[in-house]
Amino acid sequence: MRRRISGILFSCAGILLFNCGKKAEVSQTAFTKADSLTDLYLSLQDSMLQSWNVMINDDNQKIKAMHNLLHELMITSNDEDDELHAYEEELDHLMALRYSQKSMADGDIIEEYDFASNLLVTELISQAESKTEFAYNTTLQKLVEEIRLADQRVSLYREEYDEVVFRYNTFLEKNRNDLHEINQGDSLELRPLFQMTYED
C-alpha cells in the first residue's frame, strides 16, 4: 500500500513538474520576438548615436584646429589683426549654424553650414600658406594638415552615419506595429539621411 501511495505521489509530482516546464517554455517563447525586437531597436539606436558622436567630435576637432591656426597666425601677423578677428567671429558663428539630427532634414541648413565651413577652411589655409613663416613653422604646417585631413573625413563619416540610419529606418518600417506595442514612449520617427538632403 505504501509503495502504491508513493508511486501515485511520485507520478503527480512528475506531471506537475512537466506541466510547469511546459508553461515556462510557452511564456518564454511568447517574449522572444518582443525581446529580440527591443534588443535590435536599442542596438541600432546606440550605433546611430555613436556614429553621430564620432562625426560631430571630428568636426569639433577641425574647428578647434582652425581656432588654433588663427591664434598662431595672430602671433605671426600683428598687422592683420582685424581680418583674423573677423575669422574668429565667423568660426564662433559656425558652431551655431551646425545642423542637428532633426534639423538636417532641411537640406538648406546643411548646405549653409557646409558653405560657411568650406569657405573658412579654404581662406584660413590660404592665409597660413601665404606666410613666409609657413616654410619653417612646423606648428602652422601641422595645423593646416590636421584641418585638411578632417575636412576630407567629413563625407566618410556622413556615409557611415547614413548606413546606420538606413538600417534603423528600414527596421522601423518593417516592425513599426510591433514596436508601437513594445515602446509606448518612443515616437518611432524615421531619421533624415545626408544622402536625402543632397538629392533634394
SS3 101: coil
| Cβ-contact 62, 91 below 8 angstroms | no
Domain boundaries, the chain: 45-199
Return the number of other C-beta atoms located less than 10 Å from residue 200's C-beta. 10
In whole angstroms, give the CA distance from residue 58 to residue 196.
22
Least-confidence region, from 26-30, 49-53, 100-104, 155-159: 26-30
Judged against a pLDDT cut of 60, whether residue 12 lies above it is answered with no
Q: What share of the chain is helix, strand, coil (3-state, %, to 5)?
A: 90, 0, 10
Give the model's pLDDT for residue 24: 47
Q: pLDDT digit string (tens) for 32-51?
A: 677 788 888 889 999 999 99
**pTM of the predicted structure, to 2 decimals:** 0.78
Pick the more confident residue, 37 or 167. Answer: 167
